[in-house]
């Protein structure tokens, strides 16, 4: 098993390596930084041009791997290596590398135009999320840490996928001695005075959501207690607000935190796909996010 890092040859992807090393400190596995370099077409008519292109690509690849190796050298306690490979599609090549290297998690960085400390998907990462069969971890821009994973927050919706995800994350937390926090995000508009039947119905819906969430959370807590979790290493809570930023900001976040979300897609061809709610959570998350594909049948 490995942590495979997508390392862009023309970008500062140190955040992705920082995140991969953080994961490796908690659950030791080798970290492999992979730079994908454009592949030539190899047609006879373009033989001369293609040779020049291949030479350029090799130079870029070697330089990128050297930069990745230098970033990994900042973490001498981690078993890290850097390689470059040719490919015509960065997402597809990374997926092939993840499979070939038996990756436990595929780690990528945020877009270069994301705000510092925030996550923004690149077009390549977005395509990657639609087809990955392994979890994809996304580092906030300029991410740095010297800690391991101290606490894992899992987004819980009380559906089949969430229960499957919760069990998987709980097992990982037990192996890595990380604390577990189960959060149900409740986003609702600011309540208006009850001046019509519509407003009254809206208030009832919001109250029903909160009641259902509390019931589901109690069930989740009982399930996790049966797995050996105690109040010292388990927290179950809701995060509410009039918008996603307020809801996510209503709970504490610290160095060593990791947020895990499950796939919300029902399309059989999409292994990992961010639904509208998950996309908004990712956009406002102040910590690294791991997107986990649904298990078959979930």
pLDDT at 270 exceeding the cut of 50: no
pLDDT digits (tens, 9 = 90+) for 93-138: 999 999 999 999 999 999 888 888 999 988 888 888 888 999 999 9
- What average pLDDT does this structure show over 68-89? 94
Residues 133 and 161 in one domain: no
- The torsion region of residue 134 among left (phi > 0), alpha (psi -120 to 50) and beta comes to beta
pLDDT at 51: 75
- On whether residue 224 sits in a domain, the answer given is yes
- Mark whether 158 and 255 lie in a shared domain: yes
Check residue 268 and give its pLDDT.
40
Same domain, 48 and 97: yes
- For residues 17 and 117, membership in a common domain is answered with yes
- Find the CATH number of the domain harbouring 189: 3.40.50.620
Q: What is the pTM of this model?
A: 0.85
Question: Does one domain contain both 155 and 88?
Answer: no
Q: Which strands, in side-by-side order, build the sheet including 289-292?
A: 80-87, 31-38, 2-6, 103-109, 136-139, 289-292, 257-262, 151-155, 179-187, 234-241
Token pair 């996304």 is at which residue? 138
Q: Could you tell me if 137 and 15 are in contact, meaning their C-beta atoms sit under 8 angstroms apart?
A: no
Give the pLDDT confidence of 211-223 residue by residue, as tens digits: 888 888 899 999 9
224 pLDDT band, cuts 50/70/90, is very high
For residue 196, the model assigns a pLDDT of 52
Residues spanned by the domain of 90: 2-139
Q: Quick check: 256 pLDDT over 90?
A: yes
Q: Is the pLDDT of residue 261 over 70?
A: yes
Of 115, 139, 163, the position where a domain reaches its end is 139
In the beta sheet, which residues pair with residue 260? 154, 290
CA dist., res. 12 & res. 74, Å (int): 15
Statement to judge: residues 194 and 284 lie in one domain: yes
The answer as to whether 298 is a domain residue is: no
Let me know whether 12 and 127 are in one domain.
yes
């Amino acid at each position: 098993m490995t942590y495979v890092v997508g390392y862009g040859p023309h970008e500062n992807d140190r955040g992705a390596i920082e995140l991969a090393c953080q994961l490796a400190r908690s659950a030791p596995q080798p970290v492999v930084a992979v730079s994908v370099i454009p592949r030539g077409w190899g047609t006879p008519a373009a033989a001369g041009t293609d040779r020049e292109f291949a030479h350029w690509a090799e130079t870029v690849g070697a330089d990128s791997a050297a930069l990745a190796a230098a970033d990994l050298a900042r973490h001498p306690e981690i078993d890290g290596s850097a390689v470059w490979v040719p490919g015509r599609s960065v997402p597809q090549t990374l997926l092939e590398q993840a499979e070939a290297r038996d990756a436990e998690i595929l780690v990528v960085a945020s877009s270069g135009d994301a705000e510092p400390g925030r996550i923004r998907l690149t077009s390549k990462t977005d395509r990657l999320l639609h087809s990955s069969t392994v979890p994809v971890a996304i580092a906030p821009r300029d991410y740095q840490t010297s800690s391991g994973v101290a606490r894992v927050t899992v987004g819980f919706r009380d559906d089949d996928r969430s229960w499957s995800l919760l069990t998987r994350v709980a097992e990982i937390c037990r192996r890595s001695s990380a604390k577990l926090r189960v959060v149900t995000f409740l986003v609702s508009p600011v309540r208006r005075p009850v001046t019509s039947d519509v407003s009254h119905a809206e208030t009832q819906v919001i109250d029903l959501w909160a009641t259902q969430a509390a019931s589901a959370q109690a069930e989740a807590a009982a399930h996790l207690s049966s797995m050996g979790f105690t109040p010292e290493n388990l927290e179950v809570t809701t995060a509410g607000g009039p918008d996603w930023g307020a809801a996510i900001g209503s709970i504490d976040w610290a160095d060593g935190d990791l947020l895990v979300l499950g796939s919300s897609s029902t399309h059989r061809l999409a292994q990992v796909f961010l639904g509208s709610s998950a996309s908004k959570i990712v956009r406002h998350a102040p910590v690294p996010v791991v997107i986990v594909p649904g298990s078959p049948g979930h």
